Amino acid sequence: MLRAREQARIDAVTARAAEAARAGGRPRVAFLEWIDPPMGPGSWIPELIERAGGTPVLGRAGEHAEWTDLDALAALDPDVVVLGPCGFDLARTRRELGPLVGDPRWGALRAVRKGRVALADGFLHMSRPGPRIAESLEILAELLHPALDGGWRGRGWAAITDAIA
């Protein structure tokens, strides 16, 4: 019963996100599982980004996460950057932003210039597969397509401007 309910939830979010992507485009998303040095995602995160109506520019579904750097990130110039360090909650991620946001290359990224950088709760939602995977998908869909507001802002994710203001 739980599995069927969660699968229906995943399917519903995937359908809403696909419609939002058709209407507004599929943003190119760089998800970072670590800040210093930056690490792209692996495992399930790239698939969740696709289901949430985005196009992952770092990592491949089912593969291991890989280290990257700001030069590589600048070359990709994503539309959206999501910072969801493995095992960090929103407060810890806020505290760890310094090395990344202090680098001059960071400010040149399209996502930064357009205010499309978000922190995601890696501890509760992004670093752990399992029953919360539907929540992870809802969070990603909401931050990629704001019209899909599911009430997760502030508890599952925060805009970086919320974090450093």
b (16+ CB within 10 A) / e for 93-128: bbebbeebeeeeebeebebbeeebbbbbbbbbbbbe
Q: What is the pLDDT of residue 49?
A: 98
Residues of the chain with pLDDT under 70: 163-165
Q: What is the pLDDT of residue 29?
A: 98
Q: Which CATH number fits domain 2-164: 2.60.420.10, 3.40.50.1980, 3.30.870.10, 3.40.50.1100?
A: 3.40.50.1980
Q: What is the pLDDT of residue 163?
A: 54
Q: What is the pLDDT of residue 165?
A: 43
Q: What is the pLDDT of residue 131?
A: 80
Q: What is the pLDDT of residue 162?
A: 74
Task: Let me know: does 26 contact 147? Beta carbons within 8 Å.
Answer: no
- Measure the CA–CA gap between 37 and 162, rounded to whole angstroms: 23
- Return the H-helix or E-strand segment holding 118: strand 117-120
Q: What is the pLDDT of residue 58?
A: 96
Q: What is the pLDDT of residue 105?
A: 94
Give the domain ranges of the chain: 2-164
Q: What is the pLDDT of residue 121?
A: 96
